Structure 1
Amino acid sequence: MKVISKLLAATTALGMATGAFAADMTLKFGHVGAPGSLFEATVDNFAACVNGAMGDKVEVQTFGSSQLGKDKELLQKLKLGQVDFSLPSSVMSSVDDAFGIFEMPYIISDRDHMRRVQGAMMDTFQNAANENGYHIVGLAENGFRNITNNVRPINLPADLEGVKLRTPNGVWRLKMFQEYGANPTPMAFSDVFTALQTGVIDGQENPYAQIASAKFQEVQKYLSVTGHVYTPAYILMSKRKFDGLDAEVQAGLTDCASQTQDFTYEKAAELEASLLKVIEDAGVEVNTADKQAFIDASAPIYKQFADEVDGGQEMIDTVLGLGASG
């Protein structure tokens, strides 16, 4: 019986191994999200969709927590063919100025507004991605961003004066917080917890899902609900890789990305409610900022974007117009 059991176990293991490598093509998806993050949920959902729909043709393998690199490294690895997918967000504004539109404070009011912007302007973003060697398979979400820090509650922009605040590697976020009076410091997401813990920086700004999954509530005293920026995330491939896939695979990936966006929006809305309580229960003091004061203080950033980015004012007017029509 022992021999038979061993043979059965070996056969089962062989079958599992064979199944794992049965797909014609294995694609690696690297991202920076921690366990329990919206990024992880998004990527896992996309992989499950692809693997279920196209298991014989394509298998997507997922690697979170910056295992395959930080955001900028992943963008480079896409072009080198070392990674097949990544999920960048704010960093895309450093790829092309067009993505900087989502760095404008309070320009996106809610997810329905974001869908209207996507419907009207996706060609603009896809063209910008293509010109830089990338292809957007679909959109997901990073979310509405709020500020945590160890100095004081942030109610007005003036409260940010001198606060050492981590920002992502995007030029417009940097400019925005400089305008508010903070001392912004671009830093990779994976380095933020230690920097907060050791006092290298005072604070950071992220959606609740990123704050809670990275456990920033363990090393921050204050959470100020500002909702200052809504950032989409991009299911991204290199253009060369995507263009080299057959039409059926391209269509399957695009369809799964669309389904994943629906999933992500529902999941994000759930997490917004549940994770605020997680952060509060950790002893973080929560206040709701004066959003109108931040909107008023944001006018110079809009002007700078309009002046410096080709077609910037037109993009601003289009996005704001789509919000008003909702």
Structure 2
Amino acid sequence: MKSLKAGLLAIALMAGVNHAGAQEVQVKFAHVGEPGSLFADVSQEFAKRANEKLAGEAKVVVYGSSQLGGDSELLKKLKLGTVDLALPSTVMSSVAPQFALFEMPYLIADRDHMAKVRDEVVRPQLYPVAASRGYHIIGVWENGFRQITNNVRPIKTPADLSGIKLRVPQGVWRVEMFKSYGANPSPMALSEVFVALQTGAMDGQENPLVQTYASRLQEVQKYLSLSDHIYTPAFVTAGLSWNRLPEDVREVLQQTAVEMESYALEQGAKLDEETLAKMRDAGLEINEVDRQAFIDASRPVYDKFIKDVEGGQGMLDKVRELQPAS
């Protein structure tokens, strides 16, 4: 009888251990977007859809607003495996020079063009480059077409940027571009930009409209110049912890990240239109730029890309081949 009781106790204890060990896997997804930004919108929708499919086996938890760090810090945390997914954009050019393709001004014509570039350039050429650096891209979403705001004057031509202290994202290419236009660009984390503009440490910044508005930068800026100077994708990126996740969890995350690609483009277009109206209502003085003047002034950036980036000319040729007929 004693041995039977002991056996039943052992089984009960083992069941308890197994139950305790079957804890839900948490997938930490971090980004720098503020509430109301496209990053926040798409990542929350991604989490909702993925979690429905995962049905309790794992749970995607989103940490926005740079809660777990800025873009550069998040890349490091992906490498360490302390963050599972992140949404880097411009900063990917610091991972590998080939990602500077999306630092080339006026290269992406529209979102339909970007969808083709995503499928025919990013996946076959840039995914393997990222993988060789320890990053696993599972989807391409949107940061968006970038516009310039500042407190000095309306920007209509590159000459109007002369002497303006302009915040840019981390990465050397945006610095190079705005220097060639005559500005004084300084890389800075997005979380620091509001105070820098408020105090006058920076005169202006450039970001997609939705990111600008969600960060409340319209509250400390006077002029909005619709330049569309660069289109930046956002890369749903995993790191060291990816292969630690169960295979079926990885499959759901991958599938859902790709499923969200068209959603991100559609929401980006919708939010651009809505946000421009909000910017106007906020009292910003809005102007169009001389697009051709900016294109002409961008030649040095292209020359540097072709010279410095292995395979750069080939990627540019492919992207241009995919451009819509004019």
If the length of structure 1 is used for normalisation, what is the TM-score? Answer: 0.91
Q: Where do residues 231-250 of structure 1 align in structure 2 (5 Å cutoff)?
A: 231-238=232-239, 240-250=240-250
- Aligned residue identity for 1:297: A
d(CA) in 2 for partners of 1:128, 1:194: 36
d(CA) in 2 for partners of 1:251, 1:63: 22
d(CA) in 2 for partners of 1:325, 1:316: 16
Structure 1 stretches lacking a partner, 5+ long: 1-20
Distance 1:62 1:292, change over 3 A: same
**Preserved CA contact (<8 Å) 1:23 1:59:** no
Match of 2:189 in 1: 188
Match of 1:160 in 2: 161
**Preserved CA contact (<8 Å) 1:50 1:58:** no
Q: Where do residues 302-313 of structure 1 align in structure 2 (5 Å cutoff)?
A: 302-313=302-313
Are 1:89 and 2:95 an aligned pair?
Answer: no
d(CA) in 2 for partners of 1:204, 1:235: 24
Are 1:111 and 2:111 an aligned pair?
Answer: yes
**Preserved CA contact (<8 Å) 2:109 2:324:** no
- Aligned residue identity for 1:41: D
Match of 1:7 in 2: none
Cα drift, residue 325 of structure 1? 5.5
RMSD over aligned Cα, in angstroms?
A: 1.4
If the length of structure 2 is used for normalisation, what is the TM-score? Answer: 0.91
Q: Deviations over 1:56-82 (max 9, x none)?
A: 222000111111111111110111111
Match of 2:214 in 1: 213
Farther-moved stretch of structure 1 (118-127 vs 288-297): 118-127
Q: Which has the larger radius of gyration?
A: 2
- Aligned residue identity for 2:41: A
Aligned residues: 305
Match of 1:66 in 2: 66
- Aligned residue identity for 1:232: P
Cα drift, residue 310 of structure 1? 0.7
d(CA) in 2 for partners of 1:22, 1:297: 59
Match of 1:266 in 2: 266
Are 1:299 and 2:307 an aligned pair?
Answer: no
Match of 1:172 in 2: 173
Structure 2 stretches lacking a partner, 5+ long: 1-20
Cα drift, residue 245 of structure 1? 3.3
Cα drift, residue 23 of structure 1? 6.1
**Preserved CA contact (<8 Å) 1:146 1:227:** yes
Distance 1:220 1:58, change over 3 A: same
Q: Deviations over 1:262-309 (max 9, x none)?
A: 221111111111101111111110000011110111111111100111
- Aligned residue identity for 2:65: S
d(CA) in 2 for partners of 1:180, 1:166: 14
Q: Deviations over 1:29-88 (max 9, x none)?
A: 111110111110011011111101112222000111111111111110111111111111
Match of 1:278 in 2: 278
**Preserved CA contact (<8 Å) 1:91 1:168:** yes
Cα drift, residue 247 of structure 1? 3.4
Structure 1 counterpart SS, 2:233:
strand
d(CA) in 2 for partners of 1:247, 1:28: 17
Farther-moved stretch of structure 1 (254-263 vs 291-300): 254-263
